[in-house]
Amino acid sequence: MDLIEDIVTPFNIQASEKGVDYDKLIAQFGCQKVLPAHIKEIEEITGKKAHHLLRRGIYFAHRDLEMILNTAKMKKPFYLYTGRGPSSAALHLGHMIPFILNKWLQEVFDVPVVIQITDDEKYLYRQELSLEQVKHFSRENIRDIIACGFDLNKTFIFTDTSYINFLYPNFLKMQKHLTVNQIFGCFGFNGSDCVGKIAYPPLQAVPAFSNSFPHIFRNKNDIPCLIPEAIDQDPYFRLTRDIAPKINYLKPAVLHAKFFPALQGLHTKMSASDENTAIYLTDSKKEIERKIKSFAFSGGGKTLQDHREKGANLEVDVPFQYLSFLMEDDERLDEIRQKYGKGEITTGEVKKDLIGLLQKLVEDHKVKKKEVTDELIDKFMEIRELDVKL
Amino acid sequence: MDLIEDIVTPFNIQASEKGVDYDKLIAQFGCQKVLPAHIKEIEEITGKKAHHLLRRGIYFAHRDLEMILNTAKMKKPFYLYTGRGPSSAALHLGHMIPFILNKWLQEVFDVPVVIQITDDEKYLYRQELSLEQVKHFSRENIRDIIACGFDLNKTFIFTDTSYINFLYPNFLKMQKHLTVNQIFGCFGFNGSDCVGKIAYPPLQAVPAFSNSFPHIFRNKNDIPCLIPEAIDQDPYFRLTRDIAPKINYLKPAVLHAKFFPALQGLHTKMSASDENTAIYLTDSKKEIERKIKSFAFSGGGKTLQDHREKGANLEVDVPFQYLSFLMEDDERLDEIRQKYGKGEITTGEVKKDLIGLLQKLVEDHKVKKKEVTDELIDKFMEIRELDVKL
């Protein structure tokens, strides 16, 4: 019996080397499993094969996903809400996951996406950061996000400080209906934390209410919202869903991803605070090769003989996990699963595949990012009507 | 020895029937007494006789008033900041006091005034109020404030919800430098209060920093700020002054008024929550007469004989106190002080004077208020350049 509980909060992830026990987490958080029936329904509604992040169970848990699928089935509007905390200028692969899925969902469901850049949060939570630094990070992060391919006509990106006048009324409504003790309990804060830290969490709720975006949804109220994010963000949306009915708003639906593991193993997620745990979207081909070769934790046998006999433990193998998140080719991934699992190919060979894939992915991203002009950033952030079916 | 301590907080005033012990309060809050030398200096700088609210010691305490007077002496710019919490549509006489002084200071020093309407605060602090109600109250209160005669070219009035995008960066700076425990300690809150209540106090600091008003002060930073308000607001500005140097801002100066007493006596201030304690700016002549005659607490003798022998106790006499706040005619006030103090005139006679004065004051205000159009309100609230010497 595993006596050590996983720690999963918006600020800290700690698990055993086997990674987070996601079934336990679902039970603990009180959300639901994404089932094959959900995936099938998405495919039926959109007429498209589901994204591999869905098919491979990386987006594995939800709340009220059926509500969104029913809305889509009735050809009624819904929208996607995701975000990013701009704690550094460079993003890593783990940061890309929600944007990859949101971009895909936008495309196949033909729905708007709102993207919150929580510059206020990072300023308040990181002692060492100034507002100016965080604003710079925000702009660079937005550049990366746009490079993921979002549709300008259906996407609104905003920083909290630039859009606060639209967010503030709903922020106040949330703040009036949450006690300090509830925030303490939900996030593990206490009285010696700065008041901004305690005040912030309700702001992450606000983009889940469609009347925060009058320029997008005009006079239509209560457009359903789906929030695809990593599961560490769940506490924010548990609060949101608790309070929503008290202020006469619809509860948002959530779709939660597993963590993109650190190079060193599944005990924690890829983190921007230690650069050797992460592949950055700015890394050179050489750096990618070096990091994967030096750091990516192998589930293979300790000796070649051992490996040939027992095969690799794919559950803890970082290269294989990364391929599951990022390799689009199902057949090739399945071949690797079979052969690597049986010990027929080595970690070195799998890493070679991964290095090639990451180098291409990062280089492609760099090209797309170069095309993102300052003017285009301003366009995505402009408060404007979107091309949305209401 | 008086064993019962006065209670003076932004939310509650309780004192003995003699009223708040203001000397004790100065010591307790750690502010300074306004001295005859200050009044004299104001008169020297402006070339005008000091306002009776200053001359009569109603504005009795300060922090850093010398800094403001030195600034004025050097003909450098400073500005005034005052505010109003819109908890009801109708204002009473007590609410007028800071506006009367601010209007006068604006005129004689030729300086800008910024007026914060804390609609967010009242929404958060009053369980029963909706945001829509508070917004309605704000607009009606602004109408009354403009009727006090502020100069459109030198006055900017804003509600927190309408101006939050300009306030938010400094709000975050304040929030980052204050712990929850500091807010708890300063305002007597605890963990069962809503998070908005704890988050709000730093927002009252923000208008004290001149870079919150780029349209008024352009690129000039750290224009000194003077805040004339009732002394119950001191906790907000103690916090402001504590934090200001940590975020590289100038500490604002404050100038504190005594409370405008309730009709029933000096143990508390005039309050909008019990209409029989207050004279409203909407009261009819008859209502004013009835309230003063029925409720205004008399310091006169219990019998006419007793009164003729010992005279009135002016310190607890509400009609005389009101005259001190509102009667401009020094000679007449002095005459009443002498004769009423000696018992030569009765409470009835003094009340008659007061009723006449209040009726005229309220009727004049009603006329001026009628002239305040919706268009004029919008003009005062427009984010614009002011006619300010920088």
CB pairs under 8 A between A and B: 106
Chain mean position to CA A270: 12
pLDDT (average), residues A249-262: 96
Both A258 and A179 in a single domain? yes
What is d(CA A123, CA A87) in angstroms, rounded to the nearest whole number?
8
Number of helical H runs and strand E runs in chain B: 19, 11
pLDDT recorded at residue A122: 97
Per-residue pLDDT band for A1 (boundaries 50, 70, 90) equals: very low
List of residues 6+ apart from A331 with CB closer than 8 A: none
A274 lies in some domain: no
Both A208 and A294 in a single domain? no
Per-residue pLDDT band for A389 (boundaries 50, 70, 90) equals: confident
Both A191 and A78 in a single domain? yes
Domain count, chain B: 1
What is d(CA A151, CA B110) in angstroms, rounded to the nearest whole number?
53
- From chain B, the residues in CB contact with A161 under 8 A are 165, 168-169, 172
Q: Least CB-CB distance to B180: which of A168, A175, A193?
A: A193
| Segment holding A157, helix H or strand E | strand A155-159
From B384's Cα to the closest Cα of chain A, the distance in A is 18
A374 lies in some domain: no
- From chain B, the residues in CB contact with A179 under 8 A are 191-195
Is the Cβ–Cβ distance between A112 and A388 less than 8 Å? yes
Angle at A386 between CA A219 and CA A229, to 5 degrees: 95
Torsion sign across C-alpha atoms A258, A263, A267, A270: negative
Both A228 and A353 in a single domain? no
Query: Closest Cα partner for B182 from A25, A254, A193, A162?
Result: A193
List of residues 6+ apart from B109 with CB closer than 8 A: B45, B46, B72, B78
pLDDT (average), residues B133-143: 98
Both A157 and A291 in a single domain? no
Lowest mean pLDDT among A135-144, A263-272, A287-296, A311-320: A263-272
- From chain B, the residues in CB contact with A123 under 8 A are 172, 176
Q: Rounded to the nearest 5°, which phi and psi values hold at B181?
A: -60, -35
Flag if A195 and B172 touch (Cβ within 8 Å).
Answer: no
**CATH code, domain carrying A351:** 1.10.240.10
A36 lies in some domain: yes
Both A254 and A354 in a single domain? no
Q: Least CB-CB distance to B175: which of A161, A169, A196?
A: A196
B271 pLDDT above the threshold of 90: no
Both A31 and A130 in a single domain? yes
What is d(CA A176, CA A173) in angstroms, rounded to the nearest whole number?
5
B1 pLDDT above the threshold of 70: no
Q: Of A199, A229, A262, which residue constitutes the final position of a domain?
A: A262
**CATH code, domain carrying B96:** 3.40.50.620
pLDDT recorded at residue A386: 96
**In chain B, which residue's Cα lies nearest the Cα of A198?**
B195
What is d(CA B179, CA B208) in angstroms, rounded to the nearest whole number?
20
B240, B245, B247, B253 alpha-carbon torsion, rounded to 10°: 40
Q: Least CB-CB distance to A191: which of B120, B172, B181?
A: B181
- From chain A, the residues in CB contact with B205 under 8 A are none
Is the Cβ–Cβ distance between A75 and A69 less than 8 Å? no
- From chain A, the residues in CB contact with B118 under 8 A are none
H helices within chain A, ranges in order?
22-29, 36-46, 52-55, 65-73, 93-109, 119-125, 131-147, 160-176, 180-187, 195-199, 201-205, 214-217, 234-243, 285-295, 304-310, 318-326, 330-342, 347-370, 374-381
Question: For residue range B192-215, what is the model confidence (pLDDT) as tens digits?
Answer: 999 999 999 999 999 999 999 999
Question: For residue range B97-132, what is the model confidence (pLDDT) as tens digits?
Answer: 999 999 999 999 999 999 999 999 999 999 999 999
A66 lies in some domain: yes
Question: For residue range A336-368, what is the model confidence (pLDDT) as tens digits?
Answer: 999 999 999 999 999 999 999 999 999 999 999
Choose the mutation target among B180, B181, B206, B249 for the interface with A, i.e. most A CBs under 10 Å. Answer: B180
H helices within B296-371, ranges in order?
304-310, 318-326, 330-342, 347-370
Query: Closest Cα partner for B178 from B205, B153, B215, B207?
Result: B205
From B179's Cα to the closest Cα of chain A, the distance in A is 4
Q: Of A202, A235, A262, which residue constitutes the final position of a domain?
A: A262
**In chain A, which residue's Cα lies nearest the Cα of B196?**
A175
Both A50 and A84 in a single domain? yes
Tracing tokens 């009101």 back to the chain, one arrives at B322
Q: Which domain holds residue A301?
A: 279-369
pLDDT (average), residues B143-151: 98
Q: Least CB-CB distance to B195: which of A168, A194, A202?
A: A202
Per-residue pLDDT band for B4 (boundaries 50, 70, 90) equals: low
Top pLDDT among B146 and B13 is at: B146
β-strand B59-63 against B32-33: which pairing, if any? antiparallel
The interface predicted TM-score of the complex, written ipTM, equals: 0.93
Angle at A109 between CA A96 and CA A169, to 5 degrees: 75
**In chain B, which residue's Cα lies nearest the Cα of A170?**
B131
β-strand B59-63 against A79-84: which pairing, if any? unpaired
Chain mean position to CA A127: 24
Is the Cβ–Cβ distance between B262 and B271 less than 8 Å? yes
Looking at every residue in chain B, the average pLDDT score rounds to: 95
Per-residue pLDDT band for A13 (boundaries 50, 70, 90) equals: confident
Both A212 and A159 in a single domain? yes
Query: Closest Cα partner for B312 from B269, B277, B345, B265?
Result: B345
Both A192 and A299 in a single domain? no
B277 pLDDT above the threshold of 70: yes
Per-residue pLDDT band for B248 (boundaries 50, 70, 90) equals: very high
What letter represents residue A258's amino acid? K
Flag if B180 and A172 touch (Cβ within 8 Å).
Answer: no
Choose the mutation target among A195, A212, A239 for the interface with B, i.e. most B CBs under 10 Å. Answer: A195
Helix (H, G, I), strand (E, B) or coil at B250: coil
pLDDT above 70 coverage of chain A, percent: 99
pLDDT recorded at residue B260: 92
β-strand A59-63 against A155-159: which pairing, if any? unpaired
Both A246 and A284 in a single domain? no
**In chain B, which residue's Cα lies nearest the Cα of A169?**
B161
Q: Which residues does residue A253 pair with via DSSP β-bridges, in sequence order? A: A226
Flag if A198 and B193 touch (Cβ within 8 Å).
Answer: no
Looking at every residue in chain A, the average pLDDT score rounds to: 95
- From chain B, the residues in CB contact with A173 under 8 A are 131
What is d(CA A155, CA B6) in angstroms, rounded to the nearest whole number?
57
Top pLDDT among A16 and A384 is at: A384
B148 pLDDT above the threshold of 60: yes
Query: Residue B217, exposed/middle/buried by CB under 10 A (0-12, 13-18, 19+)?
Result: buried
Flag if A198 and B199 touch (Cβ within 8 Å).
Answer: yes
Q: Which residues of A touch B (CB under 8 A)?
A: 120, 123-124, 131, 161-162, 164-165, 168-169, 172-173, 175-184, 189-196, 198-199, 202
Top pLDDT among A8 and B325 is at: B325
Flag if B192 and A199 touch (Cβ within 8 Å).
Answer: no
Give the DSSP letter of residue A16.
Answer: B
Top pLDDT among B219 and B149 is at: B149
What is d(CA B257, CA B280) in angstroms, rounded to the nearest whole number?
20
Query: Closest Cα partner for A368 from A280, A281, A284, A287?
Result: A281
**In chain B, which residue's Cα lies nearest the Cα of A177?**
B194
What is d(CA B194, CA A180) in angstroms, rounded to the nearest whole number?
6
Both A251 and A336 in a single domain? no
A249 lies in some domain: yes
Flag if A161 and B178 touch (Cβ within 8 Å).
Answer: no
Flag if A120 and B183 touch (Cβ within 8 Å).
Answer: no
- From chain B, the residues in CB contact with A165 under 8 A are 161-162, 164-165
A339, A344, A347, A348 alpha-carbon torsion, rounded to 10°: -120
pLDDT recorded at residue A4: 62
B303 lies in some domain: no
B14 pLDDT above the threshold of 90: no
Is the Cβ–Cβ distance between B206 and B167 less than 8 Å? yes
What is d(CA B319, CA B266) in angstroms, rounded to the nearest whole number?
11
A390 lies in some domain: no
From B335's Cα to the closest Cα of chain A, the distance in A is 52
A26 lies in some domain: yes
| Segment holding B43, helix H or strand E | helix B36-46
Per-residue pLDDT band for A67 (boundaries 50, 70, 90) equals: very high
Is the Cβ–Cβ distance between B295 and B263 less than 8 Å? yes
Question: For residue range A68-111, what is the model confidence (pLDDT) as tens digits?
Answer: 999 999 999 999 999 999 999 999 999 999 999 999 999 999 99
What letter represents residue A206's amino acid? V
A161 pLDDT above the threshold of 80: yes
